[in-house]
Amino acid sequence: MKEAKTPEKTLQGASFTINVKSLDTGNPGRNKTIIEYLFGKMMETNRIEGRIAAIEPDNALIKVALRLNNHEKIAGFRYIINENILKAKSKIDLIEDFKAAEPFYFLHTACEDKHTGKDGISKTWPDVSLEALIYFHNKSS
């Protein structure tokens, strides 16, 4: 456990790893499709890695270096702190940020029937919303 005077200082130098097989969209079939057809077609896809690159408390911004598909991207996470929870949000684009056009094509093809509208057009979006909840313990309470 790291001690610091502010939640932001606690995060300095932090890193994390996410096992892609822990994906949970709330739909087991969708989980399997994403793991197989998207992550399964990427390079180095057992995990997503991240590290805190910079923190700008005055701008409520945390810059996180994310590594996926053998590419690294700095994503800016806007955050708020409410009591002992830091909530941070960002967005990434799998194609633009992580050069995942080919894996994304495989995912789109696997999901085409479910993503086809009444107009006959199938659409799958490459943007992903990210949200992190980080809980802190205040020693003085």
Identify whether 25 is part of a domain: yes
How many other CB atoms are found less than 10 A from the CB of residue 116?
A: 12
Q: What DSSP assignment string belongs to 20-76?
A: GGG---S-HHHHHHIIIIIGGGSSS-SEEEEEEEEEEGGGTEEEEEEEETTEEEEEE
CATH number of the domain within which 77 lies: 2.40.128.110
Lowest mean pLDDT among 1-15, 41-55, 83-97: 1-15
pLDDT in tens, 9-63: 889 999 999 999 999 989 999 999 999 999 999 998 789 999 999 999 999 999 9
Judge whether residue 141 has pLDDT over 70. Answer: no
Judge whether residue 83 has pLDDT over 90. Answer: no
Identify whether 94 is part of a domain: yes
Domain residues for the domain of 42 are 7-115+122-135
Identify whether 65 is part of a domain: yes
| Domain total of the chain | 1
Q: What is the pLDDT of residue 44?
A: 80
Identify whether 1 is part of a domain: no
Q: What is the pLDDT of residue 51?
A: 97
pTM metric for this prediction: 0.86
Identify whether 32 is part of a domain: yes
